[in-house]
Every structure is written in structure tokens, then in C-alpha cells.
Structure 1
């Protein structure tokens, strides 16, 4: 594994750990405000629109 892919893997692992642990603030730190998600449940644009439909609720 290269240094680049090792770093990418670490970031992906940390995001997934936060997401599955419902650590909203930590998970949000990995996402851009203008994120676009194509999911089976539909398309969501931006953090505020996308979070409630995907199991995270930001307060």
C-alpha cells in the first residue's frame, strides 16, 4: 500500500467509524457542505438536506 492509499484508507475508516457510531460532529468533519449523494432512497444535495434521510440528525 502506498502512503497515499494508506492515508485515504485511514480517512475512510475514521469516517465509517464515526458514521456507524452516530458521532455526528465527527462525521460532518469529513463532508463538504455541498456534498451530493446518489442513494437508493434518492438524491440529496448538501449536508442539511442529506443528513436526516441517511440516519444522521445534526442539531
Structure 2
């Protein structure tokens, strides 16, 4: 597995409700990074993972 942090756009900082932020972050990841699966959100960053090794070779 490969893990990577993604920054969310600045406009997402207006969401104070964590559930709304999670939904919008998941939609953002599906649209722009469909091969990545979000794991957690921390300080307007999304930790995501996808199949493969550190050289991005898919097993």
C-alpha cells in the first residue's frame, strides 16, 4: 500500500461541522484522485492510500 497526504482546497476551511467536511473531502478525493481511498482527515488534509509499492507499482 502507498499512503499520501492531500491538501484540501482553502474553501473547505469554512466547514466547521466535521461530518460535512468528511463528505466534501470524500467527494473531492473521488473526483480528483479516484484511485486513492481516503483513510482520515486531519487539519484540512486527507490521508489516503492506494494499491502498489513505494515506486507506485501495482501488485
- TM score, norm. by length of structure 1: 0.33
Structure with a larger share of its residues in helix: 1
Q: Which has the higher contact order (CA 8 A, sep 6+)?
A: 2
Select the structure that is richer in strand.
2
TM-score, length of structure 2 as denominator length = 0.33
